[in-house]
Amino acid sequence: MSQTSPTPPQLILRFFRMYCDPHMVEDIEGDLVERFEIRASKNGHKKARQLFIKDVLQLCRPGIIRPITGTQKLNKLGMFKNNIVVAKRQLLRHKMYSTIKIGGFALGIAVCLLITLFIKNELSYDKHIPDHQNLYRVLNNYELDGNVIRWTWFAPPFAQAIQDDFPEVTLAGRTLEGNGFGAGKTNIRIEGDLQNYYEGDFIYADQQILDLFQFEMVRGNLKEALAQPNTLVMTRKKADKLFPDENPIGKTVYINGNTNRPFKISGVLEDLPSTGFFQFDFLWTLSGQEFWDGEQASWESQNYQVYVRVNPGTDIASLNSRLSEIGTKYILPIEKRNGNPNAEEEMKKMSFSLQPVTDIYLNSTDISDPYRKSDIKYIWIFGIIAAFILGLACINFVNLSTAKSANRAKEVGLRKTIGSYRSHLITQFLTESILYSLLSFGIAIGIASLAMPYFNQLANKSLVLPWAELWFIPTLLVSALIIGIIAGLYPAFYLSSFKPAQVLKGKLSMGSKSSRLRNSLVVFQFTASIVLIIGTFVVYQQMEFILNTNTGFDKEQVIQVRGTGFLGDQTSPFKNELIKISDVSNVSVSSYLPIASTSRNGNTWWKDGKTKIDAGITGQNWEVDEDYLATLGLKLIEGRNFDRAMRSDTSAMIINREMAKTLGIIDNPIGQKITNRASNRNVWTVIGLIEDFNFEDLTAPIRPLAMRLNYGANIASIKMSGENIASTLSQIEAVWEEVAPNQPFVYEFMDQSFAKMYANVKQIRNILTSFAILAIIIACLGLFGLSVFMVEQRSKEISVRMVLGAKVTQVVSMLSINFMKPIVLALIIATPIAWYMMNQWLNDFEYNIGLSVQLFVLAGISALLIALITISFQSLKAAFTSPVEGLRNE
């Protein structure tokens, strides 16, 4: 039985014959086939085919490629020039349609460009850190009632333990942040200078933090800048401000007026990139620092952030599964020693894990930590919105191109009659589309440049068009070509499909009335627009609800004066002088306030005598003074307030209703004993019960809270009762200057601080509003263009109706009804989509407005009115036009 000889791949062979010079085809093809047969016999058919393809591709080069000469070359060049001329002629002949196409395209592209730069900026967070692929922070995970609570505070020895016990961890370091330890916004004074400066953010840090993050050093030695006790490093901008034209290395500064502990400046860091979760102005060393006796060796307090570097290639999942050994080895024995009978059960609920530092900014919404952050879901939302808006602009192009098909039908018929191929017509229409796209991109860059300051204000960014980056211009050009081709594909194939016989007989004069596709695209446009409108309404109402809801405390006309921590014994005289001001009703000094960026102190609490029986509950432990409740308007339900004259109040507590309920003492709280130590070392007597109030943002439920009496905090809250705020502020400042003559007067209204907690939500609201408006504008541009076309097509019918006595309202209704049908359908489709999306968003808030039918009705009516106004402009114009004009040429 004879075996068929192998043959080279015929498709590749045809490709070779197509591009090869005809004078060389026979000789080269013979050599290729002969070489293929030899290889097939030696190496097998499969290998021979692969090498044959490689040979054919390598031969596709100058000298072998078929030359374009003579009339063929002239025809190609002439055809290209002709396409450009025709495209330009079409653009100028139909100015309104061209303006709508290019304007809509440009708006869509400008929005895409701005959002792309925004997303690129958001995704770049912490990518600048050297070796960021191996840098992680440690998370605490605790399972409670089926949910996992995650936070980032650890005991002082944790960092050393993880480095010692796990060989994969090459380095570990800690930071300590928060006003409770003097970090945060703090006073600094240069030795020899009387003036204090309230300057920037202070963070405690180990020397290892400098080694882990490898900050760029301007002055000093990065390897030892924080290695010695009482050393401090600062950023360049702070060094330039405090020590202009000087080298600050070795200079002495005092923090919060504490002259007993001077700090030496040991380094100046380059200013931190804005695209980083880790932001500070000063780092002061943890070397030699102990906040109370035995603090650094204690496993019973959690105050430190822990960062680690691991060996490249480390299996993080495997390492995470073994990190619980730290709890078993170090924490469990202490809990057992303190007599906690549930220690082993609680340890099973606890685990530790590593999170990449590049995930901190966008993937930490469910993690309690001290850092500013965003949410990865907003990146997806903005990306989808950008795609939708660009899609709306492309839809306008398709709709208007197909709507005008009747006007170009004769052109297509004549071209085909004189011998033009369909491929030539497709090339012509794609050339027009690409020309529109290139013009739109040029205009879009101008729009984006003009809108950039406004967008930066909305998004709280400092974005610029990256002209200096090599990728930018090529990306724009390639995008213009791709979008031009995609937007022009359907119109090109649709218009080029007309048959000459039908066109020239006049059978296609109304062929463009086949509007199923156009109506479908209009439905899509307004579905996206209505979803954005509903989203904007929901976000706006939720923001108004948050800012105006009763949070349980009074934030109106309360100012916060910062930097009172150094006053010491002058705190009481300061308060007494303020109370003398007629429009000041109350003054309280406490670093613990129901707004962001103030102190927090989480403890485990038990009813006294239950530490060896019950599992503890988690609650806050705040330090306040006797005027705290009155200043913030907190409601005392039972018991009494603190009394400074009663010595027993040093061991007294005022708790909120949630604390009493969780501890099981809600029926008779006054006089109950509670403790926040399993060893029963601290026992407190409940003297008062206050109504619950929201001391965190409204995304979280109200949690247990206890307050104890203490003084010397860093923030003074001053309640004003009068209307003359400017005068009262001047008097407060005068008292401040008398008590603290060399200390800057730094203040902020509490309601403003409260609003800052929701700055990111306000940004989302403003951005969504802007995008919704743009989407509506683009959709209405297309609708306007289609209404103009429809009026043109039906001008004879309108004139006849008017001659026969039709009223203006009847004509307007006739023209509008066909357009309103797809808008109504879009509303029906958009409603469940928007309902689902906004319900998911509202679920992030413990307290929210819910979704009401009225809100959707309002959004639907708004969309219908906008569409009706857009359509009615042309409808009214047609109805009021003299019938003679419409019948003149008939």
pLDDT tens for 191-220 read 988 888 877 788 999 999 999 999 999 999
Q: How many CB atoms lie within 10 A of CB 725?
A: 13
Q: Going by C-beta distance under 8 Å and a sequence separation of 6 or more, which residues neighbour residue 816?
A: 868, 871, 872, 875
Q: How far apart are CA 300 and CA 304, in angstroms?
A: 12
Mean pLDDT to the nearest integer, 100-125? 89
Mean pLDDT to the nearest integer, 520-542? 83
Beta strands 652-656 and 636-639 are unpaired
Q: Tokens standing for 830? A: 């958009």
- Number of helices (H) and strands (E) in the chain: give both, helices first: 28, 24
Q: How confident is the model at residue 156 (pLDDT cuts 50, 70, 90)?
A: very high
Which is higher by pLDDT, 77 or 435? 435
Closest CA to 372 of 122, 565, 587: 122
Which is higher by pLDDT, 742 or 873? 742
Q: Going by C-beta distance under 8 Å and a sequence separation of 6 or more, which residues neighbour residue 250?
A: 264, 265
* 799, pLDDT greater than 80: no
pLDDT tens for 344-376 read 888 888 899 999 999 999 999 888 888 888 888
Closest CA to 187 of 628, 566, 552: 566
Q: How far apart are CA 609 and CA 611, in angstroms?
A: 6
* 406, pLDDT greater than 80: no
What is the reported pLDDT for 589?
Answer: 92
Q: How confident is the model at residue 71 (pLDDT cuts 50, 70, 90)?
A: very low
* 508, pLDDT greater than 60: no
Contact (Cβ atoms closer than 8 angstroms) between residue 552 and residue 692: yes
Q: Is 311 exposed, middle or buried (0-12, 13-18, 19+ CB in 10 A)?
A: exposed
Q: Going by C-beta distance under 8 Å and a sequence separation of 6 or more, which residues neighbour residue 735?
A: 574, 577, 578, 581
Of 39-43, 173-177, 241-245, the range with the lowest mean pLDDT is: 39-43
The SS3 call for residue 302 is: coil
What is the reported pLDDT for 273?
Answer: 92
Q: How many CB atoms lie within 10 A of CB 888?
A: 9
What is the reported pLDDT for 670?
Answer: 95
Query: Residues of the chain with pLDDT > 70: what percent?
Result: 88
pLDDT tens for 721-742 read 877 888 999 999 999 988 888 7
* β-bridge mates for residue 622, sequence order: 707
Closest CA to 618 of 662, 561, 570: 662
Q: How confident is the model at residue 142 (pLDDT cuts 50, 70, 90)?
A: confident
Residue type at 623? E
Q: How far apart are CA 63 and CA 769, in angstroms?
A: 59
Of 230-234, 555-559, 571-575, 772-776, the range with the lowest mean pLDDT is: 772-776
Average predicted confidence (pLDDT) for the chain = 84
pLDDT tens for 289-316 read 888 888 999 998 888 999 999 999 999 9
Q: How far apart are CA 451 and CA 548, in angstroms?
A: 31
pLDDT tens for 660-704 read 999 999 999 999 999 987 555 689 999 999 999 998 877 778 899
Q: How confident is the model at residue 810 (pLDDT cuts 50, 70, 90)?
A: confident
pTM of the predicted structure, to 2 decimals: 0.77
Ranges of beta strands (E only) in 632-695 are 636-639, 652-656, 673-675, 683-690
What is the reported pLDDT for 816?
Answer: 75
Q: Going by C-beta distance under 8 Å and a sequence separation of 6 or more, which residues neighbour residue 236?
A: 218, 268, 269, 270, 271
What is the reported pLDDT for 511?
Answer: 40
CA angle 114–438–781, rounded 5-degree value: 70
Helix (H) or strand (E) holding 140: strand 135-144
* β-bridge mates for residue 154, sequence order: 304
Mean pLDDT comparison of 29-38, 246-255, 881-890, highest-scoring range: 246-255
Q: How confident is the model at residue 853 (pLDDT cuts 50, 70, 90)?
A: confident
Q: How far apart are CA 662 and CA 706, in angstroms?
A: 12
| DSSP-assigned letters across all residues of 474-514 | HHHHHHHHHHHHHHHHHHHHHHTT--HHHHHTTTTTTGGG-
Distances (CA, A) of 771 to 537, 760, 768, 823: 13, 16, 5, 19
Closest CA to 756 of 538, 461, 547, 593: 547
Which is higher by pLDDT, 541 or 636? 636
Mean pLDDT to the nearest integer, 278-289? 92
Closest CA to 382 of 25, 772, 684: 772
Helix (H) or strand (E) holding 190: strand 184-190
Query: Residues of the chain with pLDDT > 90: what percent?
Result: 32
Which is higher by pLDDT, 85 or 262? 262
Which is higher by pLDDT, 787 or 263? 263
Which is higher by pLDDT, 715 or 699? 715
Closest CA to 188 of 73, 69, 282: 282
Q: How confident is the model at residue 796 (pLDDT cuts 50, 70, 90)?
A: confident
Q: How confident is the model at residue 512 (pLDDT cuts 50, 70, 90)?
A: very low
